[in-house]
Amino acid sequence: MNVCAIQLRIKWENPGENICRAMKLVGEAADMGCELACLPELFATGVTLEPQKYAEKTNGPTCTALSDAAKENAITVVGSFIEESLGKKPYNTVVVYDKRGRLVCKYRKMKLFRYGGEHLVYSPGKKNATFELGGFKVMPHICYDLRFAGLFSKLNCEFHVVVANWPSPRKDHWVTLLKARAIETQSFVLGVNMVGKNLKNTFFGASQIISPHGEVLASAGGKEQIISADISVKEVREYRSKYNPP
């Protein structure tokens, strides 16, 4: 199965332009033969600290665009949006649409980045979520989740996807933790980061696709680009059988 990370240059709090650009890149990913395309965390806005301005439901413009792009290009798309929650702070939510445009997974960010004030304006999710594709059980994660190994060890998944807005100067943390999560869970890991700036931070990119034994299969630099790699659930099972005998 060929999977890709779309390392998007997010224009801060500019949903119209970001959605248009992201959907164009999803089309390019499909033309490359990718079966799954993954966009950075809150690709339409960036991780704004004014989420109420952009909160929407799954029938809103962001999710509608994701669904339409998945169906039109016959590709599974992983994106995230600011999910409206009546009477509560919004959620930072991953949604996954299959190649028919159907919603097959929804995951709300569990670990909010308190240092950045996320806990003041977002509600935390309460549980992991998974979907199946190409024989894989796939688990999505969001940015700061990456620092919590226990979230990755649940449910015995073979493929983990991390969407992020991970800023400078913590590039070494990002690269090291992605590799660590792959090695310790003996799973494929795809981490997709943004490039660009917000009011305080610069984002370095460095999206990665990593094998169960820690090999970097594809790595992005600091510009907008698509990286891809072929992954196989058979490889995961064979590798695990060597290190986890019955």
Indicate which residue of 35, 41, 83, 118 is catalytic: 41
* pLDDT for position 115: 85
Q: For a pLDDT cut of 90, what percent of the chain falls above it?
A: 93
pLDDT exceeds cutoff 90 at 220: yes
Q: How many residues are given for the chain?
A: 246
Instruction: Give CA–CA dist 88/67, Å, rounded.
Output: 26
The stretch 15-30 carries a mean pLDDT of 98
- Apex 138 CA angle, 133 and 144, nearest 5: 145
Q: Is 184 noted as a catalytic residue in this protein? A: no
Indicate which residue of 34, 105, 143, 157 is catalytic: 143
Closest by Cα among 225, 232, 228, 205 to 217: 228
* Helix pair 15-31, 61-73: axis angle to 10 deg: 20
Interval 41-99: pLDDT, tens = 999 999 999 999 999 999 999 999 999 999 999 999 999 999 999 889 999 999 999 99
Interval 176-211: pLDDT, tens = 999 999 999 999 999 999 999 988 899 999 999 999
| Residue showing tokens 């599974």 | 76
- Cβ–Cβ < 8 Å for 123, 82: no
Instruction: Give CA–CA dist 142/154, Å, rounded.
Output: 15
* pLDDT for position 53: 97
Interval 231-240: pLDDT, tens = 999 999 999 9
Residue 33: strand, helix, or coil: coil
Interval 23-53: pLDDT, tens = 999 999 999 999 999 999 999 999 999 999 9
pLDDT exceeds cutoff 90 at 243: no
* pLDDT for position 246: 64
**Backbone φ, ψ for residue 4 (5° rounding):** -140, 155
pLDDT exceeds cutoff 90 at 122: yes
The stretch 138-156 carries a mean pLDDT of 95
| Residue showing tokens 């796939």 | 138
- Cβ–Cβ < 8 Å for 105, 63: no
Domain 2-243 has CATH 3.60.110.10: yes
pLDDT exceeds cutoff 80 at 245: no
Q: Is 118 noted as a catalytic residue in this protein? A: no
pLDDT exceeds cutoff 90 at 105: yes
Q: Is 41 noted as a catalytic residue in this protein? A: yes
Query: What average pLDDT is seen over the chain?
Result: 96
Indicate which residue of 4, 83, 105, 109 is catalytic: 109
Sorted by where each begins, the domain ranges of the chain are 2-243
